[in-house]
Structure formats: structure tokens, C-alpha cells
Amino acid sequence: MRLFILSVFIFNFASFALAQERGVLKGEFSRFYTSDDLNISKHEFSYLNNRRNLFWTYPAEEETAVDIGAFVTQYSGGYKTNSFESQQAQLYLGKKWGFKNYTYLKAGGHKFEYEDTKTEMLTYEISHEAKFYTSQLKISFVSDFQFIDQQIPLPLEEGLKREVFQLNYEYKKDKQWRFPILAKKVSISDGNHASQIDLAALYGGVYPVWWWIGYSVAQLSYDERKSGYWSPEKFTSHGPRLEVSYPFTQWWQGIIGYNYSFIKEDDFEAGSSSYSNLGIEYGKRDDGLIQLLWVEIISEQASNEWSSKGYLLTFEKSL
């Protein structure tokens, strides 16, 4: 079915010219450390012949167009005393179907090396976005290595791959309420499968300060609990969430995000976790932006604690 959808998608590109809008050059640099001795870095550069954003449009966008681009990505890091590295290259093809629908394909190759494990795979992302009067929708199929989700050690040792189906939906009411929903199905190359659903209700505004506060509920479950990576048969969480972006001047703005959760995993004792980010952004969206974020996740259950900490630096420049 996916191949059929992809074939129809590519065939229909022939009737549209390439976008004549401003292109964009992007870069992403990140490094994270976890308490179980994993460190992982990501360096990515991309170019697109547009600045496409269906849900937050740019001035003078064309109604229909074809977009092209390229992505080059490198992952590197280590687990305990062993190191790993991977290189990925992908081409991008997107099509705007009027002002309310957009479809894109990212596809290429990904090579991975860890100790004696050397493997490669075809990676892809097929996504469709749709905008409605009071809501928005994104449906994606993604295939890549599992280690990029900070899953260890088996995904590193065996070069495990995973396919993801993900649905993101958000309903907006009276410009003051947001109700985001995430549903995800994951198939891993070792035969395991996972399901995840996240729900939230957020109240806030977007001008002059972008702020939202509310409550979120999530559940994650795997068919089989594996000793080689975190894979609970049932994991639930719920708690308050805060998102703020505050403009200090027309060029500078601060970013704060926080989510505290009460968690329960299988038959273990209940615990708590927190996700927080703190950042700064400089620039103007119509010209260029640079953003630096510090991200920290801490999870505690009984006497056990797990954490992930690191930074994310991104930039984009309209051409």
C-alpha cells in the first residue's frame, strides 16, 4: 500500500513547476549525554528551494508548487568505552496541493558502524499535512535506525531498524485552547512492536507573548519487554505542561518549556519525571534565525534515576 501511495504521489509531480519562492539553508547541531553512559551527537545541513510551512505560512506563497532539496546528516558518539558513527544522505521532494494540503518524501541511505557491526539501510519519510478551519493534521511513515532515539545497547550492537507510523492532530478552539493528539505505532527489526498515544489540553495565547499551560496524559506499551533496551509492557504518565516564548526585543526572544509527570511502569513503584528546556533565539523569521536550547530529562522510580541532558543549536537562513 505504501509503495502504491508513493508511486501515485511521484507521478502527480509532473504537472507542476518548481517553487519560485525563497529557499532556505538550515543547520542543526546537538549533543546529549545520558546517565547510562551514552553520548550522542548530531550534525545536519539541509537546503530546500522553499521555506514551506503549511501551518504558519510565509508572505506571497504560491498556491501550488513542487519543492526539492537535500539533507546530509552525521551521528556520532559512544556507549561506555565503545564508539559509533553513521552518515546519512537524503533527497527531498514535496508538493503543495493548494493552500491546505502538502505532501513530501525524504529518501536516501544511512550507513552505521559500531564495533564489529557495520550495516546500512534505505531510509525514508513520507508525510502528508492538511490544514482545516479549526484543526491541523500530519500523517507520517518513517524508516530509520533505532539508536537515534537513544535506545541502547541492543540497537547499537545489532544495528536495529525501526518503522514508524505517526499521526499528529491538533484542534483549536476560540484561539485560546489547543488540544494536541499524538498516536504512534513502531515496528522494530527484532520483531518487537510499540504503541504510544499522547493527549493534552492547553490554554493560552500567541500575542504578544506565546504561552500555553495545561495538562497532558500519555501511554506507551511494547509487545515484549526486552533486556537490550527500554521497552515497558505498559508505561503511563500524566502531569502539567508549560510552554512560553517571550520576545525581549524585535530580534531576541527567550524560550521556556516544562512538563512534570507522574509515571507508572509495569509492576514497579510509581515515580516522577520532568522535561525542561531553556533557550534563546535571535533573528527574524522572514530573514534568518539562530536558536540555542538546553534540554534536560530526569526520571525517578524508587531508588533508580535516569537522565538525559544536552544542547540543541539550530539556524536557518532565507535565500
The DSSP letter of residue 18 is B
Look at residue 227 and give its three-state secondary structure.
Answer: coil
Domain that holds residue 298: 2-318
Residue with the bigger pLDDT between 65 and 109: it is 109
User: In whole angstroms, what is the distance from residue 285 CA to residue 290 CA?
Assistant: 10
Cα dihedral 48→54→59→62 (10° resolution): 70
pLDDT of residue 12: 55
> Which grid coordinates are listed for 311?
544542547
- Give me the pLDDT at residue 99, please: 87
Res 215: pLDDT: 98
Share of the chain above pLDDT 70, in %: 94
The CA–CA distances, whole Å, from 57 to 29, 51, 53, 137 equal 25, 9, 5, 15
Q: Is the pLDDT of residue 219 over 80?
A: yes
CA distances to 174, 176, 244, 274 from 207, rounded to whole Å, are 14, 11, 11, 27
Which whole number is the average pLDDT over 104-129? 95
Residues contacting 69, CB < 8 A, separation 6+: 46, 47, 48, 49, 91, 92, 94
Question: Which residue, among 259, 214, 257, has the nearest Cα to 237 in the 3D structure?
Answer: 259
In whole angstroms, what is the distance from residue 294 CA to residue 33 CA?
12
pLDDT at 106 over 60: yes
pLDDT above 50 (res 68)? yes
Q: What is the mean pLDDT of the chain?
A: 91
Sign of torsion, CA 274 140 231 113?
negative
pLDDT of the residue at 14: 47
In angstroms, the CA 178 to CA 181 distance is 10
pLDDT: which is higher, 184 or 55: 184
Taking residues 154-165, report their average pLDDT.
94
| Region 96-122 average pLDDT | 93
Structure confidence at residue 235 as a pLDDT band (50, 70, 90): very high
Percentage of the chain beyond pLDDT 90 is: 75
Average pLDDT over residues 108-124: 94
Residue 52 or 309, more confident: 309
Could you tell me the CATH number of the domain that includes residue 25? 2.40.160.40
pLDDT for 33 equals: 95
Q: How many domains is the chain built from?
A: 1
Which pLDDT value is given to residue 193? Answer: 97
* Res 117 pLDDT > 60: yes
Q: Encode burial over 225-242: b for 16+ CB neighbours within 10 A, e otherwise.
A: ebebbbbbeebbbbbebb
User: In the structure, what pLDDT confidence band is assigned to residue 115 with cuts at 50, 70 and 90?
Assistant: confident
Which pLDDT score is estimated for 17?
58
pLDDT the model gives residue 65: 85
Per-residue pLDDT tens digits for 271-301: 999 999 999 999 998 889 999 999 999 999 8
| pLDDT score of 5 | 52
Give the pLDDT band of residue 267 (cuts 50, 70, 90): confident
Selected residue with higher pLDDT from 90 and 81:
90
For position 301, what pLDDT does the model report? 87
pLDDT digits (tens, 9 = 90+) for 1-40: 554 455 455 545 545 556 577 889 999 999 999 999 999 9
